[in-house]
Amino acid sequence: MPVGVAINQEELKDVRAKFDELLKLMEFRLQDEDKANIEKAYEMAIEAHKFQRRKSGEPYIFHPIEVARICFQEIGLGPTAVICALLHDVVEDTPVSLNEILELFGPKVSIIVDGLTKLDGTYNIDTNDSPQAENFKKVLSTLVVDVRVVLIKMADRLHNLRTISAQPKHKQLKIAAETDFIYTPLAHRLGLYNIKTEFQDICLKITEPEVFQELSNKLSESDQARNEYIEQFISPLKAELTQLGAPFRVLGRCKAISSIYTKIKQSKVNFEEIYDIFAVRIIIDVPVEKEKSFCWQIYSIITDVYKPIPERLKDWITTPKGNGYESLHTTVIGPKGKYVEVQIRTERMDEIAEKGFAAHWKYKGIKKQENVYDNWLDNIREILDTKHTNALDFINDFKTNLFSEEVYVFTPKGDMRIIPKGATALDFAFEIHTDVGYHATAIKVNNKLVPMGYKLNNGDQVQVVTNKNQKPTEDWLKMVVTGKAKSKIRSAMKEERRKVGEYGKEALERKFKNLKLDFEDNVDIVTKQLGFKSRIDLFYGLSMDEVKMSDIKNYTIENGKIVFKKEEEDQLNKEAPIAEELRKIQRPAKANRSNILVNGEPADIYKYSLASCCNPVQGDDIFAYLTATAGLKIHRTNCSNAVQLLANYGYRVLKADWEDSVNSSFVVELLVTGIDSGPGVIQSLSNELSNKLGINIKSFSIEGKEGYFEGRIGIIVLNKDQLNMVVQSLEKMEGISSVVRTDRTFK
**How far is the C-alpha of 562 from the C-alpha of 614, rounded, in Å?**
35
The residue (of 113 and 402) whose beta carbon lies closer to Mn ion is 113
Largest CA distance in the chain: 99
- Listed residue (707, 55, 155, 73) closest to 444, CA to CA: 707
> Computed from CA positions of residues 230, 328, 78, 150, in that sequence, does the dihedral angle turn out positive or negative?
negative
In whole angstroms, the minimum distance from the beta carbon of 159 to Mn ion comes to 7
The answer to whether 92 is a known catalytic residue is yes
In whole angstroms, the minimum distance from the beta carbon of 535 to Mn ion comes to 49
* Contact status, residue 95 vs residue 48, Cβ threshold 8 Å: yes
Q: Decide: helix, strand or coil at residue 356.
A: coil
In whole angstroms, the minimum distance from the beta carbon of 84 to Mn ion comes to 12
The one-character DSSP state at 636 is: E
The residue (of 115 and 714) whose beta carbon lies closer to Mn ion is 115
In whole angstroms, the minimum distance from the beta carbon of 112 to Mn ion comes to 14
Cα angle, residue 129 at apex, residues 127 and 133 outer, rounded to 5°: 125
Which residues of this chain interact with Mn ion, rule CB under 5 A?
89, 156
The amino acid at 577: P
The residue (of 63 and 439) whose beta carbon lies closer to Mn ion is 63
In whole angstroms, the minimum distance from the beta carbon of 332 to Mn ion comes to 45
The one-character DSSP state at 273 is: G
Q: Decide: helix, strand or coil at residue 661.
A: coil
Q: Which of 14, 39, 93, 688 is catalytic?
A: 93
The one-character DSSP state at 255 is: P
The amino acid at 99: N
Q: Which of 34, 39, 92, 621 is catalytic?
A: 92
In whole angstroms, the minimum distance from the beta carbon of 239 to Mn ion comes to 51
H helix runs in 399-481, sequence order: 425-432, 434-438
In whole angstroms, the minimum distance from the beta carbon of 120 to Mn ion comes to 7
The residue (of 154 and 562) whose beta carbon lies closer to Mn ion is 154
Taking CA atoms, 96 is separated from 73, 206, 278, in Å, by 27, 35, 49
As beta bridge partners, residue 127 has: none
The residue (of 1 and 647) whose beta carbon lies closer to Mn ion is 1
The residue (of 116 and 562) whose beta carbon lies closer to Mn ion is 116
CA 612 to chain centre: 35
The phi, psi pair for 704, rounded to 5°, reads -95, 140
The residue (of 89 and 291) whose beta carbon lies closer to Mn ion is 89
Taking the CA of residue 201 as centre, how many other CA atoms within 13 Å lie in the half-sphere pointing to its CB?
15
CA 456 to chain centre: 16
4-7 long-range contacts (CB < 8 A, ≥24 apart) are: 4/51, 4/52, 4/53, 5/51, 5/53, 6/50, 6/51, 7/46, 7/50, 7/51, 7/59, 7/61
CA 33 to chain centre: 43
**How far is the C-alpha of 425 from the C-alpha of 480, rounded, in Å?**
8
The residue (of 52 and 441) whose beta carbon lies closer to Mn ion is 52
Pairing of strands 708-717, 736-741: unpaired
DSSP secondary structure letters along 390-408: SHHHHHHHHIIIIISPEEE
Pairing of strands 339-346, 278-284: parallel
The residue (of 89 and 427) whose beta carbon lies closer to Mn ion is 89
**How far is the C-alpha of 625 from the C-alpha of 552, rounded, in Å?**
20
The answer to whether 93 is a known catalytic residue is yes
The phi, psi pair for 193, rounded to 5°, reads -65, -40
Angle formed by the axes of helices 79-86 and 107-120, nearest 10°? 50
Which residues are identified as catalytic? 92-93
